[in-house]
Structure 1
């Protein structure tokens, strides 16, 4: 069985169709076929985004997670409640490592200091039309005192921070109340790892 690589895709033309905070490129490309040979030239639009960092803050001593809530434009046409329960997140739009973005966004969006970062995975949330790559982490935190409304005023952010017992967060996932990919993946991962994380947490700071 042949494993294709990047060399098996030929970009015949690439133009920028729009450039604002994000960018839309128009590509003409062709690729090799599983049955042999090359396929026809295809015209595709590509949503060009900065890579993202998403962090699930978890307090292993109290067995609860910190989630944030804010309005999301992508949900306003398809959800009765476009204020989504999410992870702390931000874009890598400067010369920063993903870990630096995680610490910065945790402070800005939730007023949290991250004690330890554990990588969960990296994934493409919508590779059919976007090049965004998400760096997903779990962060150990002391959640005592967490809460309130946060965010940068100059960026129009209005972010509510809430504390959830792990079992209640998982129930919200099961009921569909939590319906975005990064939060679903991170909570499912936490369910598999929670016992070990709690056992190895040591004394509460």
Structure 2
């Protein structure tokens, strides 16, 4: 049986690449070819690629109080659905040049929720939509105290308007099942919390 990952990036031949749009984001068009699994070569084909840098997302969780902080804000991509375009999400931000994901986590924690993380633990890295976008998400759990968390935050010059909600962990997890939370980063992080909650609480002396 053939094992996966027989091909690498070096097997892809990009014959031509041009930028077709460059605004807040960038879109490139590529002409490319690569080998097929049956041994033939794929004819040259075109694809549009959404160029979006890496981002970092953090689930703020207080293992003592067993609460998370979720951020509510408007998302254009959800407009036109039957749901509200104001979503419940994680602390998140784009990685700037020279910043580590941990740097971004701490910066965005302050800007979006007034939070400082006493520790950060990597959950995973994942590609958001590799069929057409370059974006990679660096996903973390961040330890916080939720005792005085919550409120309205965001950078006004970036047109951010964010409300931070303190939510019981059980309630946040239930929001996945009933569809109130339906964005990938929050779903992955909260399901990770389900699997690791006992460990995190025990590490802080909680039953």
Partner of 2:54: 51
* TM-score, structure 1 normalization: 0.96
Kindly indicate whether residue 126 of structure 2 is the aligned counterpart of residue 123 of structure 1: yes
CA 1:90 to 1:79, structure 2 compared with 1: closer, same or farther past 3 Å? farther
Partner of 2:180: 177
Gaps in structure 2 of 5+ consecutive residues: none
Measured in 2, the distance between the counterparts of 1:169 and 1:8 equals 43
Kindly indicate whether residue 165 of structure 2 is the aligned counterpart of residue 162 of structure 1: yes
Task: Map Cα deviations across residues 95-121 of structure 1 (whole Å, 9 max, x no partner).
Answer: 211100000000000000111000000
Task: Map Cα deviations across residues 153-204 of structure 1 (whole Å, 9 max, x no partner).
Answer: 111110000011110001111101000000000000010000000111259x
* TM-score, structure 2 normalization: 0.96
Q: Give the SS at the match of 2:43.
A: coil
Gaps in structure 1 of 5+ consecutive residues: none
Task: Map Cα deviations across residues 42-89 of structure 1 (whole Å, 9 max, x no partner).
Answer: 100000001000000000000010000100000002243000000000
Measured in 1, the distance between the counterparts of 2:65 and 2:183 equals 25
Q: CA RMSD in A?
A: 1.1
Measured in 1, the distance between the counterparts of 2:104 and 2:82 equals 29
Instruction: Count how many residue pairs are aligned between Structure 1 and Structure 2.
Output: 203
For 2:70, which of 27, 48, 67 is the aligned residue?
A: 67
Runs of 4+ in 1 over 3 A off after TM superposition: none
Measured in 1, the distance between the counterparts of 2:204 and 2:92 equals 24
